[in-house]
Structure 1
Amino acid sequence: MRKFNFNRCVRYDATGKARFHSMAKARLRAVAKLLELSPGDYDLRSNIAGPAVSGEITLHTNHVYVQVAQPFSGGPDTGILIRTCNGRDDFCGGHNTFAPLALLNDPAALAVLVDKVEQGGLRMSPDQIRTYAQAAGVL
């Protein structure tokens, strides 16, 4: 799988935003497949949003919610949000676990992390996730 720069700013760039959404959806679809989910077991949504933000792409199952968006602030890379949920109508869910966008370039490593969150409600700090991503070779 070819690497994609998910951190390249797509604000005020409609073409870049469309590519960001397309690539993120493809990677989340790969994560769903690695988690052995059938198409009816999850929703995959894309909210383009306004020009000043990246919008978000969401993989939502009955037990876990994964949302991808470029962080608006210049702070740490927290572009992937993973949390447990109680059905596909639950948009608040459990505790937030954040991961760097670069993890989208390794769907297998992201799937392992998603599974850990789903199975145990794993909570990791951004520094712990960064260490995990470095060990997976994506940072």
Structure 2
Amino acid sequence: MFQWDKSCSYDEQHERRFLTTARSRLRRLAAELNLPPGSYDLRSNKAGVAVSGEVTLHHDCVYIQVSQFGLSSGHGILIRTCQGRNDYSGGPNHFVALAMLDDVCALAAAVRAITGLGPQDPAQSRAA
């Protein structure tokens, strides 16, 4: 498992792994949420040496961003609704733990609960 709670500050190798791993997990999250290809953007920002950078999944109705902004709080995944891929401020901010990236199904359930995106029951989405 990836060490989400290990700081990326001044550790270029760890920052690179953080961004690569977060991007991979958000790609799996998009699949778990049944987001059609082309309906979302997946962006990375390396940022500076003192921070982790961020990875963003931006769909037409949900904006999810992963970074180590709240490392001491354990939270690092921002989830909010939006109205299209040009909406960067969206609805209210909700935060969940970075460790949820290790359980993409649970993260998808949190996204659904916060945004109302897709069916609440994963069995329903697989049956469709």
Q: Structure 2: which amino acid aligns with 1:49? A: A
Unpaired runs of 5+ residues, structure 1, are: 121-139
Give CA-to-partner distance per residue, 1:82-118, whole Å, 9 cap, x none.
0000100001000011001000000010011111212
Structure 1 residue 39 corresponds to structure 2 residue 37: yes
Aligned length in residues: 117
Identity of aligned residues (%): 49
Secondary structure, aligned partner of 1:39: coil
Structure 1 residue 88 corresponds to structure 2 residue 82: no
What's the TM-score once normalised by structure 1's chain length? 0.80
Q: Structure 2: which amino acid aligns with 1:119? A: G
Q: Which runs of 4+ in 1 moved over 3 A?
A: none
Task: Give the drift of 1:30.
Answer: 0.5
Structure 1 residue 19 corresponds to structure 2 residue 17: yes
Whole-Å Cα distance in 1 between the matches of residues 70 and 107 of structure 2?
A: 22
Instruction: Compare 102-111 and 37-46 and name the one that shifted more.
Output: 37-46
Whole-Å Cα distance in 2 between the matches of residues 40 and 116 of structure 1?
A: 23
Unpaired runs of 5+ residues, structure 2, are: 118-128
Say which of 6, 9, 15 aligns to 1:8: 6
Q: Structure 1: which amino acid aligns with 2:57? A: L
Whole-Å Cα distance in 2 between the matches of residues 72 and 117 of structure 1?
A: 19
Task: Give the drift of 1:72.
Answer: 5.3
Whole-Å Cα distance in 1 between the matches of residues 113 and 53 of structure 2?
A: 26
Question: Is the 8 Å Cα contact of residues 71 and 77 (structure 1) preserved in structure 2?
Answer: no
